[in-house]
Amino acid sequence: MSTEGTSRVLTTHKLLEMKERGEKIAMLTAYDYTSAKIVDAAGIDIILVGDSAANVMAGHETTLPITLDQMIYHAQSVMRAVKNPLVVVDLPFGTYQGNSKEALHSAVRIMKESEADAVKLEGGVEIMESIQRILSAGIPIMGHLGLTPQSIHKFGTYAVRAREKAEAEKLVADAHALEDAGCFALVLEKIPALLAKQITEELRIPVIGIGAGRYCDGQVLVMHDMLGLNNKFSPRFLRRYANLYDCYLNAFKNYVSDVKSCDFPNESEQY
Ligand code: KIV
């Protein structure tokens, strides 16, 4: 038996060290084997198997419909691909809120069936019992505060959160509670940059932002958004690193045209 611990190159402990020495953390979503392999080759620190798969892979309007079995399927596909990054998997809506035993069961299924490194849960003190029970089983947790898409029906909008004092104060208190409970990192989504700065400075654990400004310890984006695969989604926080929508469209159009015109396949493309 190996005594070296996890074979993963990036560990939760190394993330803490990165924060301590001021090295920024790069995190990206991935949901399938082929993309995850490329993401790993690019040197990403953390892969998030996000429940945003419900949107970008399955076409749902919200993240709520994705199931635990579907998240495990995505996580297994990613785990077969990667060697270096820490792989974090979202616990989907309805598998951890309000019942800490079910929360532990869900987290254990993800860890056992996918062999991922950690889970992510949305929410603060209201899900503390679930967080504590999962942590007590030795499963690392990444928290997620601010805009928490699984609560979209409560918020009613995807607008920036915690602009008002009372919500900002609750967010700061929740962030401390998650750190005190033992979460190894925290995602802050769509909150004012100065609030994210305050939390990043106050916490010892790494804070990863999405739409939370430049002062966080790291950044996360949804792969399909940063690749420009969805040309209808362009929030202010999103930087596009490619325009794959046009790339795909042109490739598909050229293929259709080549088949219709009998240009494909040609002599050298047949047996
Ligand atoms: O599911 C997801 O992709 C996420 C990120 C937006 C942080 O939770």
Bridge partners (DSSP) listed for residue 144: 122, 187
Tens place of pLDDT per residue across the chain (271 aa):
444 555 668 999 999 999 999 999 999 999 999 999 999 999 999 999 999 999 999 999 999 999 999 999 999 999 999 999 999 999 999 999 999 999 999 999 999 999 999 999 999 999 999 999 999 999 999 999 999 999 999 999 999 999 999 999 999 999 999 999 999 999 999 999 999 999 999 999 999 999 999 999 999 999 999 999 998 899 999 999 999 999 999 999 999 999 999 999 999 999 9
Distance (angstroms) between ligand 1 centre and the Cα of 261 equals 43
Query: What pLDDT does 7 receive?
Result: 64
User: In whole angstroms, what is the distance from residue 229 CA to residue 231 CA?
Assistant: 6
Listed in sequence order, the residues at least 6 apart from 74 whose beta carbon sits closer than 8 Å to its beta carbon are: 31, 32, 49, 53, 57, 89
Query: Distance from first CA to last CA of the chain, Å, rounded?
Result: 50
Query: What pLDDT does 37 receive?
Result: 98
Contact (CB, 8 A) for 53 and 248: no
CA dihedral angle for residue 33, residue 38, residue 40, residue 43, rounded to 10 degrees:
-170
User: In whole angstroms, what is the distance from residue 225 CA to residue 209 CA?
Assistant: 15
Q: Which atom of ligand 1 is nearest to the CA of 187?
A: 7
Distance (angstroms) between ligand 1 centre and the Cα of 88 equals 11
Supply the residue whose CA is at minimum distance from atom 2 of ligand 1: 50
Distance (angstroms) between ligand 1 centre and the Cα of 226 equals 13
pTM: 0.96
> Any residues with Cβ below 6 Å from ligand 1, and which?
29, 48, 50-52, 90, 187, 189, 210, 220, 222
CA dihedral angle for residue 150, residue 156, residue 157, residue 162, rounded to 10 degrees:
-80
90 is in an annotated binding site: yes
User: What is the best residue among 35, 47, 48 to mutate for testing ligand 1's pocket, by most ligand atoms within 8 Å of CB?
Assistant: 48
Q: In this predicted model, what pLDDT tens digit does every residue of 4-23 receive, in sequence order?
A: 555 668 999 999 999 999 99
Give the number of C-alpha atoms closer than 13 A to the C-alpha of residue 227, restricted to the C-beta side. Answer: 15
